[in-house]
């Protein structure tokens, strides 16, 4: 059992190294490379699922080389996995497996380093989820980052990838170094790098400014990774240009891992020490709601399908942050289920976009209008996933978001539900508009949309010359992911996920498990635990979102027939230029916004925590 922890990161890293080593032998044997990579990713998925199943309601702790803590002082480096962290890692591994199977027939020529980078990316994500050491968190963060930057620039012979990768790499690196500064400060104060021990130390002392500053700095780096407004400018550029199977990972888990990092850091280190629970909760909520709204608005005005999906990811990241930021078990459980459901449907959407790109050589909604009618299965999958994104029951998304909304309502935040439903309708409506226009040729043919189309450049094909049919290996992964998304919504997961969330938030139990080897099977929540299940209001809200998204998509497709709009209504040029100015794609601007966001967040924290 214990060895599984080490193996789950060692296996992908070793296989990656071996693939580089035997590269000369593998030239011309592409299938061997594919098979090894797929098998590795699949075996890591199984290992992580086993770890998750065996956490037994508590945390399973593994000390590397057997350096166990002595009298409650950690001297080694540990992996500490609860059901949520192991589950997130398993989700990452599952998506890596799906993307690898998808890319079996996808790339024209695939160099060894695609598989190598995917495997190191997987190792980075797994380590990030499992680690219990704050400095290792940074190292895994960077391993994940470097692999991701390289994967974004996978086709450097083209224009977009260079710009996207540079923006991604520089912005995220600045974020990572800010986090590292925070880690150094907290080490200076506590003399510890183990998260449990840091938490035990600072909760025994009254919080001072240094702890608050360290919290701010660590959080800021993770907020950059999770693309929270105003730290989000790198995301759309990177998503638009990365190879489509890689986008599945970026949207499905990488962004969510940043949020996981925030939750882990908050509940294992700072939660008890900082106090001011309500105020911190409001800060997270404000950031989350702002992100959800901004992402949804930008999503709807986009015509480049990959960018559109990227903005929808930003919007969803905001809702996940709001779920986590409610700081209650049900909110966290909702965010966890929502992340899983979203990862599945977003994965399907990206994979179907990949199929469209493979067959038709474009990802521009305007150019593709009605041209994908013959891709029937792809169209059905894309539409289903679009409905899933719009929270149609029984997709897992409706369950998770419903719990977040339930929590908001029981805490007197009645406005949260309509705001979330509106964001979902905007993002889901945009995706369904794409589905209707591209796959079914619904709506008026685009004529006078040159201005909108200009923004969405043609993308040259990433793929094989044979485009007469869609290979089976490209259809199986999205089909499986749709099935899993529905299964998540239908399985009675509620009590188990909520117990895991309670466990995740119980800092004392985490400390005791890691530092003293205690087994705390039934942690207690200081907050009332609300029942998690499928409720009638939840189903109704899901249905409202889905119907609203369908209506919005319909209106968007036939907008020129609307009486008001027939009189030559154009979105105001100034407004649209402003929106484009925000997304200038200049690295300098992204970093300026990062500094601005950091300063604002610092100011707010300084005001609330005195």
Partner 1 sequence: MQIFPFIVVVWIVGAGLYGIVTSRDLIHQIICLIVVQSSTYVLLLGVGYVTGAVAPYFNDVPVHTPAVDPVVQALALTDVVVEAAVTALLLAIAIQAHKRFGTLDPHDLAEFKG
Q: Which of 576, 585, 604, 608 binds partner 1 (CB under 8 A)?
A: 585
Please report whether residue 90 would count as binding partner 1 according to CB under 8 A: no
The SS3 of residue 44 is helix
Cβ distance to partner 1 smaller for residue 185 or 435: 185
Please report whether residue 185 would count as binding partner 1 according to CB under 8 A: yes
Please report whether residue 153 would count as binding partner 1 according to CB under 8 A: yes
Please report whether residue 220 would count as binding partner 1 according to CB under 8 A: no
- What the block records as the tokens of 129 is 């989820």
Interaction with partner 1 in 106-135: which residues (CB under 8 A)? 135
Rounded to whole angstroms, the Cα distance separating 133 from 122 reads 19
Of 9, 4, 19, give the one whose Cα is nearest residue 53: 4
Interaction with partner 1 in 445-464: which residues (CB under 8 A)? 457, 459
Question: Is the bond preceding residue 230 a cis peptide, omega within 30 degrees?
Answer: yes
Please report whether residue 368 would count as binding partner 1 according to CB under 8 A: no
Cβ distance to partner 1 smaller for residue 115 or 401: 115
Stretch in the footprint of partner 1 (CB under 8 A) among 235-243, 426-434, 469-477, 512-520: 235-243
Q: Are strands 78-81 and 60-63 parallel, antiparallel or unpaired?
A: antiparallel
Cβ distance to partner 1 smaller for residue 340 or 601: 601
Rounded to whole angstroms, the Cα distance separating 15 from 25 reads 15
Rounded to whole angstroms, the Cα distance separating 482 from 127 reads 27
Q: Which of 58, 69, 127, 145 binds partner 1 (CB under 8 A)?
A: 145
Please report whether residue 160 would count as binding partner 1 according to CB under 8 A: yes
Stretch in the footprint of partner 1 (CB under 8 A) among 28-36, 237-245, 412-420, 475-483: 237-245
Cβ distance to partner 1 smaller for residue 306 or 503: 306
Of 100, 108, 104, give the one whose Cα is nearest residue 44: 100
Cα pseudo-dihedral 398, 400, 402, 403, rounded to 10: 160
- What the block records as the tokens of 482 is 């749709």
Cβ distance to partner 1 smaller for residue 180 or 327: 180
Cβ distance to partner 1 smaller for residue 53 or 75: 75
Please report whether residue 156 would count as binding partner 1 according to CB under 8 A: yes
Please report whether residue 181 would count as binding partner 1 according to CB under 8 A: yes
Minimum CB–partner distance for residue 243 and partner 1 (Å): 11
Q: Which of 89, 150, 343, 549 binds partner 1 (CB under 8 A)?
A: 150
Please report whether residue 162 would count as binding partner 1 according to CB under 8 A: yes
Q: Which of 45, 85, 112, 163 binds partner 1 (CB under 8 A)?
A: 163
Of 463, 252, 481, 465, give the one whose Cα is nearest residue 354: 463
Stretch in the footprint of partner 1 (CB under 8 A) among 55-63, 140-148, 337-345, 366-374: 140-148
Residues 6+ apart with CB under 8 A from 125: 89, 92, 93, 140, 144, 253, 254, 257
Q: Which of 36, 170, 442, 480 binds partner 1 (CB under 8 A)?
A: 170
Beta bridge partners, 79, equal 62, 131
The SS3 of residue 471 is coil
Rounded to whole angstroms, the Cα distance separating 154 from 171 reads 19
Stretch in the footprint of partner 1 (CB under 8 A) among 152-160, 295-303, 422-430, 497-505: 152-160
Instruction: Determine how many CB atoms are found less than 10 A away from the CB of residue 401.
Output: 31
Cβ distance to partner 1 smaller for residue 188 or 517: 188
Please report whether residue 600 would count as binding partner 1 according to CB under 8 A: no
- What the block records as the tokens of 3 is 């060895």
The SS3 of residue 63 is strand
Please report whether residue 65 would count as binding partner 1 according to CB under 8 A: no
Minimum CB–partner distance for residue 170 and partner 1 (Å): 6
Q: What is the DSSP string of 570-581?
A: ---HHHHHHHHH
Stretch in the footprint of partner 1 (CB under 8 A) among 174-182, 386-394, 537-545, 602-610: 174-182
Of how many residues is the chain composed? 610
Rounded to whole angstroms, the Cα distance separating 321 from 491 reads 24
The SS3 of residue 120 is helix
- What the block records as the tokens of 223 is 């907020």
Of 323, 335, 437, 332, give the one whose Cα is nearest residue 386: 437
Judging by beta carbons within 10 Å of its beta carbon (0-12, 13-18, 19+), is residue 162 exposed, middle or buried? middle
Rounded to whole angstroms, the Cα distance separating 392 from 377 reads 20
Cβ distance to partner 1 smaller for residue 237 or 256: 237
Cβ distance to partner 1 smaller for residue 133 or 405: 133
Stretch in the footprint of partner 1 (CB under 8 A) among 139-147, 295-303, 336-344, 551-559: 139-147
Per rule CB under 8 A, count of chain residues that contact partner 1: 44
The CA-atom distances, in angstroms, between 91 and each of 41, 169, 188, 336 are 11, 24, 35, 11
Residue 534: half-sphere exposure toward Cβ, Cα within 13 Å: 15
Rounded to whole angstroms, the Cα distance separating 356 from 110 reads 19
Please report whether residue 592 would count as binding partner 1 according to CB under 8 A: yes
Q: Which of 68, 111, 188, 472 binds partner 1 (CB under 8 A)?
A: 188
Q: Look-up: residue for tokens 């949520």?
A: 84
Minimum CB–partner distance for residue 594 and partner 1 (Å): 9
Please report whether residue 595 would count as binding partner 1 according to CB under 8 A: yes
Stretch in the footprint of partner 1 (CB under 8 A) among 48-56, 353-361, 481-489, 586-594: 586-594
Cβ distance to partner 1 smaller for residue 193 or 332: 193
Q: Which of 2, 67, 467, 588 binds partner 1 (CB under 8 A)?
A: 588
Cβ distance to partner 1 smaller for residue 144 or 287: 144
Return residues touching partner 1 (CB under 8 A): 135, 139, 142, 145-146, 149-150, 153, 156-166, 169-170, 173-174, 177, 180-181, 184-185, 187-188, 193, 237, 240-241, 457, 459, 584-588, 591-592, 595
């Amino acid at each position: 059992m214990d060895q599984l922890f080490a193996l789950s990161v060692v296996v992908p890293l070793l296989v990656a190294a071996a693939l580089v080593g035997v590269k000369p032998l593998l030239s011309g044997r592409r299938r061997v490379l594919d098979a090894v990579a797929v098998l590795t990713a699949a075996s890591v998925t199984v290992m992580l699922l086993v770890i998750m199943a065996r956490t037994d309601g508590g945390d399973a702790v593994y000390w590397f080389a057997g350096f166990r803590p002595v009298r409650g002082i950690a001297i080694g480096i540990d992996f500490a996995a609860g059901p949520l962290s192991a589950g997130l890692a398993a989700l990452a591994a599952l998506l890596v497996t799906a993307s690898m199977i998808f890319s079996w027939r996808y790339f024209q020529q695939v160099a060894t380093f695609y598989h190598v980078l995917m495997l190191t990316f997987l190792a980075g994500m797994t380590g990030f989820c499992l680690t219990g050491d704050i400095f290792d968190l940074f190292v895994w963060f960077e391993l994940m980052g470097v692999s991701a930057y390289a994967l974004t620039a996978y086709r450097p012979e083209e224009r977009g990838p260079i710009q996207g990768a540079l923006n991604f790499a520089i912005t995220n690196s600045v974020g990572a170094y800010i986090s590292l500064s925070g880690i150094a400060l907290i080490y200076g104060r506590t003399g510890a790098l183990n998260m449990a021990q840091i938490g035990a130390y600072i909760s025994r002392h009254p919080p001072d400014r240094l702890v608050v500053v360290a919290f701010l700095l660590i959080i800021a780096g993770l907020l950059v990774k999770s693309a929270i407004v105003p730290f989000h400018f790198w995301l759309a550029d990177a998503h638009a240009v990365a190879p489509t199977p890689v986008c599945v990972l970026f949207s499905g888990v990488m962004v969510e891992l940043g949020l996981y990092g925030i939750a882990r850091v908050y509940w294992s280190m700072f939660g008890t020490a900082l106090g001011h629970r309500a105020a911190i909760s409001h800060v997270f909520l404000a950031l989350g709601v702002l992100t959800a709204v901004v992402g949804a608005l930008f999503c709807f005005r986009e015509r480049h399908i990959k960018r559109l999906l990227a903005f929808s990811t930003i919007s969803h990241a905001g809702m996940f942050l709001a779920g986590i930021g409610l700081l209650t078990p049900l909110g966290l459980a909702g965010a966890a289920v929502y992340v899983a459901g979203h990862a599945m449907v977003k994965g399907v959407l990206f994979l179907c976009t990949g199929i469209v790109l493979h067959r038709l050589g474009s990802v521009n909604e305007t150019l593709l209008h009605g041209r994908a009618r013959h891709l029937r299965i792809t169209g059905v999958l894309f539409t289903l996933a679009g409905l899933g994104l719009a929270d149609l029951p029984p997709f897992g998304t409706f369950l998770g978001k419903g719990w977040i909304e339930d929590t908001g309502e029981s805490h007197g935040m009645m406005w949260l539900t309509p705001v979330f439903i509106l964001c979902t309708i905007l993002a889901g409506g945009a995706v369904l508009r794409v589905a209707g226009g591209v796959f079914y040729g619904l709506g008026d043919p685009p004529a006078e949309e040159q201005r909108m189309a200009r923004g969405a450049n043609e993308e040259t094909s990433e793929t094989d010359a044979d485009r007469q049919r869609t290979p089976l290996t490209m259809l199986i992964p999205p089909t499986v992911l749709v099935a899993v998304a529905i299964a998540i919504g239908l399985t009675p997961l509620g009590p188990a996920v909520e117990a895991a969330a309670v466990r995740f938030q119980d800092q004392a139990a985490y400390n005791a498990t890691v530092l003293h080897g205690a087994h705390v099977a039934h942690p207690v929540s200081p907050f009332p635990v609300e029942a998690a299940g499928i409720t009638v209001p939840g189903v109704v809200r899901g249905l409202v979102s889905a119907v609203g998204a369908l209506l919005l998509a319909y209106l968007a497709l036939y907008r020129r027939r609307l009486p008001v709009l027939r009189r030559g209504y154009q979105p105001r040029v100034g407004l649209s230029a402003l929106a484009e100015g925000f997304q200038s794609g200049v690295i300098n601007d992204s970093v300026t916004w990062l500094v601005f966001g950091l300063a604002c967040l610092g100011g707010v924290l300084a005001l609330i925590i005195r």
